Amino acid sequence: MSEARIRVSEIFGPTIQGEGILIGLPTVFVRTGGCDYRCSWCDTLHAVDADYRDQWQPMSVDEIWRDVTRLSGGKALTISLSGGNPAIQPFASLIARGHQEGYRFALETQGSIAKDWFADLDTLVLSPKPPSSGMRTDWQVLNDCLRAAANGPIIALKIVIFDDRDYAYARAAGARYPHLPIYLQPGNHTPPPPDADDALVDIDGVMDRMRWLVDKVSADQWFDARVLPQLHVLIWGNRRSV
């Protein structure tokens, strides 16, 4: 039987991880194509929308690994598996290959698909989508993701916040999983065109939401929550491959 191939939208880096638990960490990104969600404010449509399927390359582990080691100069760092929803893809062999050479793996997913290889990750970020996304969270499947990860990776929640309904959703998620660290991220209202090399972002609007979110957390004495921006958006805007 031939090896399962991974559908890749882009491989890029090294750059910094721009958000969540690993913010600021040097990282190579393997962004996959395809998603089982279609969030209203998705900022990576080029990795989600089937109209761009012809830009996604089915790649073997060896092919991906050649790109990763070339970009990293053969120096072990963190590889971020992103998307789309990277949980759709067969990553077990790539993770095993990288671990043999000292690389670490982080994955961010909405928690809608559970895979056994979650237990092999170094970091798992579960990012269930709030009401503003237009999607519905199946908490049972997210629980399945936690069980699949078992005691393997560090696990954290990350939730994008646009408004009061999203904030209430995040509070409920934090109460549901009090043992997990939770990161809150102000939403970015300006997703880029999928084929754009660059796109302007309403930075003032993002920072207004950041200040609003900090004030909400502080007023509610929700001291377990950590509020962080999308650092890469503040630095580069909505450019692809950063």
Distance CA 178, CA 45 (A): 32
Distance CA 100, CA 78 (A): 13
Cis ω before 14 (30° cut-off from 0):
yes
pLDDT digits (tens, 9 = 90+) for 60-108: 999 999 999 999 999 999 999 999 999 999 999 999 999 999 999 999 9
CB contact set of 68 (below 8 Å; sequence gap of 6+): 11, 28, 30, 79, 98, 103
pLDDT band at 159 (very low <50, low <70, confident <90, very high): very high
Q: How is residue 171 written in tokens? A: 């509070």
Q: Which SS3 state, helix, strand or coil, does residue 135 take?
A: coil
How confident is the model at residue 197, as a pLDDT? 43
How confident is the model at residue 192, as a pLDDT? 47
More confident residue, 212 or 235: 212
Mean pLDDT of 23-43: 94
| Superfamily of the domain at 6-236 | Aldolase class I (3.20.20.70)
Q: What are the Cα distances from residue 41, in Å, to 101, 130, 162?
A: 37, 11, 10
Mean pLDDT of 138-152: 97
Locate all alpha helices (DSSP H) within 163-202, ordered by sequence.
164-176
pLDDT digits (tens, 9 = 90+) for 163-216: 999 999 999 999 999 999 999 999 886 544 545 444 566 778 888 999 999 999
